Chain A
Amino acid sequence: MSKTPITRAAAATPVRVARKVRGLSDRAIAWIFVGPTIFLLLAINIFPLIWTIRLSFTNFKANRLNREPEWVGLRNYERILTDSDIWLNMQATAHFLFWTIFFQVLIGFTLAYLINKKFKGNDLWTTIIVLPMMLSPAVVGNFWKFLYQPQIGLFNYIVAFFTGKDPSSFEMLGSVDLAPWSIVIVDTWMWTPFVMLICLAGLRSIPDYIYEAAEVDRASKLRQFFTITIPMVLPFLMLAVLFRGIENFKMFDLVVQLTGGGPGSTTELTSINLKREAFEKWRTGYASAYAIILFVTVFGLASIYVKALNKVKER
């Protein structure tokens, strides 16, 4: 009789342990396996979340541990939701979110469509395109900072080459009008490959016989694109949008490295503002309320994402 992995594992179990386990029910064994995960989940995710909710109703300061925090009710939430500066941060986040997703979907889908065509060096090009995604955001932020330098940066010279402007006449990171676009460009450069990969998976999942049937019915290439390719890639595209939307809502490292939230607060996204409130001004209670607002927003978006994911699975 051939030994299965289960019989091998049973044979390898020390006699003492085997005797103890034999006395346990299936349910107890299941709990032994699941228990550590549940404990870690409670300790690392659920407990801090409940603690943060509690702190959001107080004026607790993490740098004044000997001072008893006061219960302030909904005052933190009220102050955040009537603060026009935070409203501007939300708008900066919205600008960043909308345009990064727009460009990433547009360029990502176009690249995927091109890469999906069979040609020589297809795999090499895929690897080259995917490279930016593999870099650390801190590294990307640092080297784009050099590329954006008005005196020596390559970016200004490329723009100058095409527009005829003087390269040192504009500063991408120092200008109030251009800084929000500079972070959009870098994020698009870095994360378009991610959207491309998801779209590529969608394109490759379309069976060839559908296109062949369309050819038999004498459907034009344009018609095939709009009635076969787009509808079948749409769920994947939707997933990419939601993934990037949730990620960019929490964007921190890349923007801190590039602009630090400046000039002024034009590129101060909500996560940067939140970090300042929590760890520079030490308004822990206020920052907790801020975090809960962002959490509920991201959680809401994630719920929609799960629903969309289930729909994709059903197809």
Chain B
Amino acid sequence: MTNFLSGLLRLKRGPWEMLATILIGLGVFMLMQPFALWLYTYSFIVTLVGTVMFIVVSHFKD
């Protein structure tokens, strides 16, 4: 966990890609879950942030 956080602070590609992947996964879950309409409402913005983040951080150094 500490490695993950320090990786984020040092702008390392691995942890940031992991974070973006989690956001995309969360967004897709929110889009398709049957529990709450408000989760569905905010799903697109979460997926969009995750996807844009993924494109940007894939240019970071390892």
* Chain A residues within CB distance 8 Å of chain B: 77, 81-82, 84, 87, 90-91, 93-94, 97, 293, 296-297, 299-301, 303-304, 307
Contact = CB atoms under 8 A, between A and B. Distances in A.
A91 B36 CA distance: 12
A299 B31 CA distance: 14
Interface in B1-50: 17, 20-21, 24-25, 27-28, 31-34, 37, 40-44, 47-48, 50
Given A297-B27, A299-B51, A81 B32 contact: no
Contact of B40 (A81, A296, A299, A304): A81
Determine the main DSSP class of B at the interface with A.
helix
Interface residues of B, number: 23
Given A299-B51, A304-B24, A90 B32 contact: yes
B46 to A, nearest CB: 10
B37 A84 contact: yes
Interface of B: 17, 20-21, 24-25, 27-28, 31-34, 37, 40-44, 47-48, 50-51, 54-55
Contacts of B41: 81-82
Given A81-B43, A94-B32, A87 B37 contact: yes
B54 A91 contact: no
A68 to B, nearest CB: 28
A293 B43 CA distance: 10
A304 B21 CA distance: 6
B29 to A, nearest CB: 9
Contact of B28 (A81, A82, A301): A301
Nearest to A89: B32
Contacts of B55: 303
10 contacts: A81-B41, A82-B41, A94-B32, A97-B32, A297-B27, A303-B21, A303-B51, A304-B21, A304-B24, A307-B21
A296 B47 contact: yes
A300 B37 contact: no
Nearest to A249: B28
Given A296-B47, A296-B51, 7 more contacts: A81-B43, A82-B41, A87-B37, A93-B32, A297-B28, A300-B54, A303-B24
B45 to A, nearest CB: 9
Contacts of A300: 24, 27-28, 47, 50-51, 54
